[in-house]
Amino acid sequence: MKSAAASRAVALAAALALVLASAFPFLAGAQSEFTRGDRMPYDAFDKLSKTDLDVPGGVIHVAFAPGEIALPKEKVLDWVKASARAVATYYGRFPVSDLKLLIVPVNGTRVRGGTTWGYRGAAIRVMLGRDAGEDALRRDWVMVHEMVHLALPDLAERHAWLSEGLAVYVEPIARAQAGDLTVAEIWQAMMRDMPQGLPEAGDRGLDNTGTWGRKYWGGAMFCLLADIEIRKATGNRLGLQDAMRGVISAGGNHEHDWPIARVLATADKAVGADVLERLYREMGGKPVTPDLAGLWRDLGLRPRGEALEFDDAAPLAAIRKAITARPN
């Protein structure tokens, strides 16, 4: 049994630890040279020993920053491989031929975030909670999200909604196509979260409104609308997936800076339809509020309590199925 004084001391210590942890989030974690600033620590990475993983169309050089992690490294490498496989399933290949992947152990039980760079070769840094278990890695979306960023040229900051939107939209679809998520899970998440991407009062279009909701879910909404419109225009033969594969085939990946117009034109050309450029003309500079409830209904998505029912007689049911079908 604890005395009142001891409890107070414990509470104080806990409060102090919280203050310290928020001021220096990685104090107890890896060396700051691997976490400091918002640039990839390329030089520090180059000094670490690496494990090379072959993935379709490329090699991932994985390095661990100093620090303990609970899981065996093989389990972490399996997670990297599964994530790369999902991304390669969606894009037909891994988006870059060489990737430097830095895993930094930090406090916690899950994946704590990641960042992707391309200015000195494609690179990703992921903060991995040192006490993360296999289940946390199986449920993780961060690794796939960051790898999806590799598949798009570096854009000007005002177009971040397209890179974040693609990462948010493609990540669950790629994992579903690879068999790592159920189709119901991804549509339920989209129905739940996509309203965060709708414009609010004072919105000036995707290019001119830098809010979190518009950047991530507004961008994802753009991608969903584009996917559906490309499929309508091509008799459901091609989708956003084929358009974005066209960008990679044309040499566009995160190691290159492209203007957004070139990305959209290249993607449209790959599917022979003026969809992305047209949607951008509509949504880039002014607020557009699609009827999401009507869209879910047309796709044949019917929430039933906690579950989701699919209506295969709905007008866009075939398109809904094609979006998550494993590609050839």
Q: Which is nearer to Zn ion, 103 or 170 (CB)?
A: 170
Total chain residues near Zn ion (CB under 5 A): 2
In whole angstroms, how close is the CB of 168 to Zn ion at the nearest point? 8
- Residue 116 pairs in a beta bridge with 124
Write the single-letter amino acid at 112: R
Q: Which is nearer to Zn ion, 164 or 277 (CB)?
A: 164
Q: Which is nearer to Zn ion, 67 or 213 (CB)?
A: 213
- Residue 62 pairs in a beta bridge with 51, 101
Q: Which is nearer to Zn ion, 167 or 299 (CB)?
A: 167
The neighbour count for residue 196, using CB atoms within 10 Å, is: 15
Contacts with 43 (C-beta within 8 Å, 6 or more apart), sequence order? none
Q: Which is nearer to Zn ion, 154 or 268 (CB)?
A: 154
Return the closest-CA partner of residue 291 out of 221, 243, 230.
Answer: 221
Q: Which is nearer to Zn ion, 131 or 193 (CB)?
A: 193
Cα separation, 39 vs 276, in Å, equals 31
Using CB positions, name the residue nearest to Zn ion. 167
Question: Between residue 163 and residue 182, which ones bind Zn ion under the rule CB under 5 A?
Answer: 164, 167
Stretch in the footprint of Zn ion (CB under 5 A) among 76-84, 159-167, 188-196, 282-290:
159-167
Write the single-letter amino acid at 68: E
Question: Between residue 39 and residue 98, which ones bind Zn ion under the rule CB under 5 A?
Answer: none
Cα separation, 84 vs 181, in Å, equals 15
Q: Which is nearer to Zn ion, 96 or 270 (CB)?
A: 96
Stretch in the footprint of Zn ion (CB under 5 A) among 64-72, 158-166, 221-229, 273-281:
158-166
Q: Is 150 in the site for Zn ion (CB under 5 A)?
A: no
Q: Which is nearer to Zn ion, 29 or 114 (CB)?
A: 114
Q: Which is nearer to Zn ion, 130 or 175 (CB)?
A: 175
- Give one DSSP letter per residue of 138-179, joined into a string: HH--HHHHHHHHTTS-B--GGGHHHHHHHHHHHHHHHHHHTT
Write the single-letter amino acid at 227: D
Q: Taking a C-beta distance cutoff of 8 angstroms, is the pair 6, 41 a contact?
A: no
Q: Taking a C-beta distance cutoff of 8 angstroms, is the pair 173, 327 a contact?
A: no
In whole angstroms, how close is the CB of 146 to Zn ion at the nearest point? 7
In whole angstroms, how close is the CB of 145 to Zn ion at the nearest point? 5
Cα separation, 187 vs 197, in Å, equals 15
| DSSP state letter for 25 | T
In whole angstroms, how close is the CB of 114 to Zn ion at the nearest point? 8
Stretch in the footprint of Zn ion (CB under 5 A) among 38-46, 51-59, 157-165, 314-322:
157-165
Q: Helix (H, G, I), strand (E, B), or coil: what is residue 127? A: strand
In whole angstroms, how close is the CB of 190 to Zn ion at the nearest point? 17
In whole angstroms, how close is the CB of 86 to Zn ion at the nearest point? 16
In whole angstroms, how close is the CB of 118 to Zn ion at the nearest point? 13
Stretch in the footprint of Zn ion (CB under 5 A) among 105-113, 161-169, 285-293, 301-309:
161-169
Contacts with 277 (C-beta within 8 Å, 6 or more apart), sequence order? 261, 264, 265, 268
User: What phi, psi does 211 have (nearest 5°)?
Assistant: -70, 160
In whole angstroms, how close is the CB of 25 to Zn ion at the nearest point? 19
In whole angstroms, how close is the CB of 39 to Zn ion at the nearest point? 16
Cα separation, 219 vs 233, in Å, equals 21
Per CB under 5 A, residues contacting Zn ion are: 164, 167
